[in-house]
């Protein structure tokens, strides 16, 4: 009886370690995905405004930034290793060095033990910001 109890305990500890490592790796993958999406959106500068201002004004349009992030996630989310990636928000705000794009993505945590215990697994979130800066030639 003690052996069976010990085996169950060891299996539960292994399952908890497995779930924890899946959460950690998933969180890192989401952060990387958000980082790439933020950089892609920050690179989508409104060139018309740039040229009209003679290189003094850098602008990133909210709608274009969101479209760029959606396209980036459509092409990259499948390769991230995280299932169920969703875009939570894309924000463009003025920053001291230029417009700052902040991207937040979410996905359910891959948690096998929590599901077996009928508990709701936590939701992972990845957030990153990038600043659009153009250096005149």
Residue by residue, what is the 3-state secondary structure of 42-60? HCCCCHHHHHHCCCCCCCC
User: What 3-state DSSP class applies to 83?
Assistant: coil
Does 86 score more than 60 pLDDT?
A: yes
Does 118 score more than 70 pLDDT?
A: no
- Contact assessment for residue 105 and residue 37, using Cβ atoms and an 8 Å cutoff: yes
- % residues pLDDT > 90 (the chain): 39
Range of the domain at 96: 2-131
How many domains does the structure of the chain reveal? Answer: 1
The pLDDT value given to residue 135: 67
Domain-embedded: residue 136: no
Domain-embedded: residue 17: yes
- Contact assessment for residue 33 and residue 127, using Cβ atoms and an 8 Å cutoff: no
- State how far the Cα of 97 lies from the Cα of 122, in Å rounded to an integer: 35
- The pLDDT tens digits of the residues spanning 31-70 come to 999 999 999 998 888 878 878 887 777 888 888 999 999 9
Domain-embedded: residue 49: yes
């Amino acid at each position: 009886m003690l052996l069976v109890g010990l085996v169950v305990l060891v299996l539960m500890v292994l399952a908890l370690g497995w779930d924890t490592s899946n959460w950690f790796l998933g969180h890192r993958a989401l952060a990387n995905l958000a980082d790439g999406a933020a950089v892609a959106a920050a690179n989508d500068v409104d060139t018309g405004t740039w040229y009209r201002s003679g290189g003094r004004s850098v602008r990133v349009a909210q709608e274009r930034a969101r479209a760029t992030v959606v396209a980036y996630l459509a092409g990259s989310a499948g390769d991230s290793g995280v299932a169920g990636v969703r875009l939570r928000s894309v924000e463009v705000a003025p920053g001291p060095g230029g417009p700052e794009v902040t991207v937040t993505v979410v996905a359910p945590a891959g948690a096998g033990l929590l599901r077996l215990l009928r508990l709701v697994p936590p939701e992972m979130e990845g957030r990153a910001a990038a600043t659009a800066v153009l250096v005149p030639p």
